[in-house]
Amino acid sequence: MQILAALFVEGLDQRQVPGPATRLDLLGVMFSMAAESEPPVTVSPHLVVITRCPPEEDGTGTLEVEFLGPDGAQRARNVQPVTVVPGKFGRHLVKGDLTFEAYETVEAHCRLGGGPAVVVPLTLLPPAG
């Protein structure tokens, strides 16, 4: 299996269209977000990981996401089994509770079965307004 994309989102919808085919509607894709208050603050962003499984593979694996701070220290970790029908695509939602001590960037390092990482940044900004 392989990761096609990984993004922080506000929401995700899935719908059927003629074919039959499936559409994923990603809502509010983000790489930064305003804090609700001054740090330290904990946020719980949604990370969607889109995968595919080639027809010749069995469709089972493990998705590991490590959330690393700017110093490389682990802030949170999520490990979950994933199953994708061979020849098809899958979507996996990862929710991490991240505590920010300052306005900074945390990176989500997403891997399938110990393979290469897809890295997605999320920067905490000062409160809006």
SS3 for the chain, per residue?
CEEEEEEEECEEEEEEECCCEEEEEEECCECEEECCCCCCEEECCEEEEEEECCCCCCCEEEEEEEEECCCCCEEEEEEEEEECCCCCEEEEEEECCEEECCCCEEEEEEEECCCCCEEEEEEEECCCC
pLDDT of residue 62: 97
Q: Please report, for the chain, the start and end positions of each structural domain, with discontinuous segments joined by +.
A: 2-125
pLDDT band at residue 104 under the 50/70/90 scheme: very high
108-127 average pLDDT score:
96
pLDDT band at 128 (very low <50, low <70, confident <90, very high): confident
CATH 2.60.40.10 fits 2-125, yes or no: yes
pLDDT of residue 57: 96
